[in-house]
Structure 1
């Protein structure tokens, strides 16, 4: 590999802010990247599912990656470059590499539902061509196809395939991948905030987190405590964040997290169609959860300070 990344800790899956005319707000994007870096995250992941990559042109996609890289000083930027078209995923990956991305996150091909052999060929094609550390992203609820443990383990042997973002919800399957790749330089990262702590307990190394956009210090403190073996504190923080984890997925991601960002003053709630604003029936509960978290900041700040 041309570079090495320690895939340990918290990597927010960043939102892409839009103005009311659906144009990307690059100023807000860069301010958000700087806010997250200052909060102590271990890396940033722009233009993934949370970044509404499916609605961006290729040029916009690359410009978002460039803007995040320009904004931060000392954290790696892992660009989402997945597609259901191998050629398109390869092009996006090459352009992100040229833009200076430190690593790549590749969602498995969606809609066309390849067989496992097709998934292996897809990922190996990109890994052979692009000399950056790459994370295989399994989220069958979005793609319609599960990356089976045998497939993930097979891909782990490739020198450029450095990790696996697990969002299947199947802890048995995730544990199987972790167990069978313990001797590889291969990180398993949570892609489901509510399951991050259970995954850490069986050997995951961190999280690509939606909640960290809103509560980066708490999320870092929870993950850091678990990685240090302090499960009493990690459980306490997990339960503090539990209501937020639930509220951020009452509707399709990133609808709730963009609303939360707007409530906190971090960015607009605007989304590109076909996504729409959070339903009014959920807004009061989300505001209440955010207010409760704001009422108890001191202990978390102390905990986060101890993890750095």
Structure 2
């Protein structure tokens, strides 16, 4: 089962990109469906002077976010500085976000890691912490080997194992790796639905995605 989230337009604010998704129904299991249409701002992770997660400030921010009619929040995208968090911190941040938000607001949690195994494990923990879907960034340390075949294999394994919908995340400004069009539109043989979101080096790629995969 495969579906793609449609990025209607990236909304740039102070250098950050907020995802605006077309109303799309994503199957979870059986007759259950998840409506992911709407706007999802990527939230920052506040830190103390000792470089620890400042959960008090996080809670204060979440109280404000909860009053704004967003469809949900992106947690631990690039703004969340997830590379600087431990596994426990990443999971705890998602858990607190889920607890603080009204149930009707969705949580899209970054679960990408460099290895497929670690990404699968992180996705399971994020789902357990309350994430409604996971955002999986392209592995990039061995970017010279990350061709379409490798990325399709990676995302297929991740989607096969994920208890929640998977969103492919391409952010070449940070990873130095652009998600190839054929990797996005390839009909992955996975039982879990996937989506695609990210910053593009050229809007022509968005057009190519949509022309090859009617949404």
TM-score bracket, shorter-length normalisation: 0.7 to 0.9
* Helix, strand or coil at the partner of 2:72: coil
Alignment match, 2:129: 99
2:127 maps to 1:85: no
TM-score by length of 1: 0.56
More strand by share: 2
Mapped partners of 2:97, 2:91: distance in 1: 10
Deviation at 1:23, TM superposition (A): 1.5
Mapped partners of 2:156, 2:36: distance in 1: 20
Are the counterparts in 1 of residues 181 and 209 from structure 2 also a CA contact under 8 Å? yes
Are the counterparts in 2 of residues 47 and 53 from structure 1 also a CA contact under 8 Å? yes
Alignment match, 1:121: 153
TM-aligned CA distance change 1:25 to 1:106, over 3 Å: same
TM-aligned CA distance change 1:47 to 1:155, over 3 Å: farther
Are the counterparts in 2 of residues 78 and 104 from structure 1 also a CA contact under 8 Å? yes
Q: What RMSD in Å do the two structures reach over aligned CA positions?
A: 1.7
Alignment match, 2:13: none
TM-score by length of 2: 0.79
Q: How far does the alpha carbon of each residue in 1:163-209 deviate from its partner, in whole angstroms, 9 at most, with x for none?
A: 111312211111111222224xxxxxxxxxxxxxxxxxxxxxxxxxx
Alignment match, 1:75: 105
TM-aligned CA distance change 1:182 to 1:66, over 3 Å: same
2:27 maps to 1:27: no
* Equivalent residues in 2 for 1:129-278, closer than 5 Å: 129-155=161-187, 158-183=190-215
* Helix, strand or coil at the partner of 2:34: coil
Deviation at 1:46, TM superposition (A): 1.0
Where does the alignment leave 5 or more consecutive residues of structure 1 unmatched? 184-308
Deviation at 1:115, TM superposition (A): 1.6
* Structure with larger Rg: 1
TM-aligned CA distance change 1:76 to 1:168, over 3 Å: same
Are the counterparts in 2 of residues 166 and 174 from structure 1 also a CA contact under 8 Å? no
Q: How far does the alpha carbon of each residue in 1:10-47 deviate from its partner, in whole angstroms, 9 at most, with x for none?
A: 10111001111112111221221231121111111111
2:7 maps to 1:7: no
* Helix, strand or coil at the partner of 2:134: strand
Alignment match, 2:20: none
TM-aligned CA distance change 1:155 to 1:140, over 3 Å: farther
Deviation at 1:9, TM superposition (A): 2.0
* Helix, strand or coil at the partner of 2:186: helix
More helix by share: 1
Alignment match, 1:112: 142
